[in-house]
Amino acid sequence: MTPFTEKVLQVIRSIPEGEVMTYGQIARQAGSPRAARQVVRILHAMSKKHRLPWHRVLNVRGEIAIQDDEGAQLQRFLLESEGVHVSDELTVSLADYQVQHEEE
């Protein structure tokens, strides 16, 4: 596992319940600001194995990015079970729920 991948996993694990982060925000905190797509790949490949809170990760617009309806509804359910409001358009207010502190 690369140091970047390890850092991404660490950042994702640190997302508090009831809060969200964006792919780009995770990439920045892991030390590679332009690696948002790599964060997507890491989440897809390693969420189950590493028991990551994958549902707390959204795109830059606060949208649930999962394309299949079943997966998107599962993410919505998990977020709402933590007190995060998800709109009918499957968006979350980043102003209200995004992790605001950025660790270096």
Query: What is the pLDDT, as a whole number, of residue 100?
Result: 86
**Can you give the pTM of this predicted structure?**
0.92
CB 53 within 8 A of CB 11: no
pLDDT in tens, 42-72: 999 999 999 999 999 999 999 999 989 999 9
Contacts of residue 11, defined as CB under 8 A and 6 or more positions apart, other chains included, come to 21, 26, 29, 30, 103
pLDDT of residue 1: 85
